[in-house]
Amino acid sequence: MAKTKPKVLVNKLGEYMTASYTRKKTIVYDQKNPPPFKAVRYAETRVAYAQYIMSGFDKSIIDRAIKAVSAKTTISDFQINDKDTSLESLNCCFSCPFRSHY
């Protein structure tokens, strides 16, 4: 899906200034037509942590998140890795000194 008002990232603008003609074309194309899939890791984990802190450290929120992430069906290597690292993060939550900092 092409953007109607494309924006150029600063890093890409800097790269564009010294790039070859072919690379310049690729940079412009990629900025106008960004890949449809930009993966965000730990999406459910981040939401659970935010709710956990806002609720005054209600452990049931993390427990529910662990159950939800555990129940997810994974197909790709990315999904498997995301699930494994999300579970690792959630399981470490109770041993982290969150409360001492808030």
Residue 2 pLDDT grade (very low, low, confident, very high; cuts 50, 70, 90): low
Beta-carbon contacts of residue 9 (< 8 Å; ≥ 6 apart): 31
- For 10-66, what is each residue's pLDDT tens digit? 888 889 999 999 999 998 888 888 776 666 788 889 999 999 989 988 999 999 999
Distance CA 37, CA 79 (A): 13
Return d(Cα 49, Cα 54) in angstroms, integer. 9
Q: What is the pTM of this model?
A: 0.59
CB atoms within 10 A of CB 65: 22
CB 85 within 8 A of CB 42: yes
Q: Which H or E run contains 94?
A: none
What is the rounded CA–CA span in Å between residue 34 and residue 56?
A: 39
Q: Which two tokens stand for residue 59?
A: 């452990």
Q: pLDDT for 77-97, tens place per residue?
A: 889 999 999 999 999 887 877
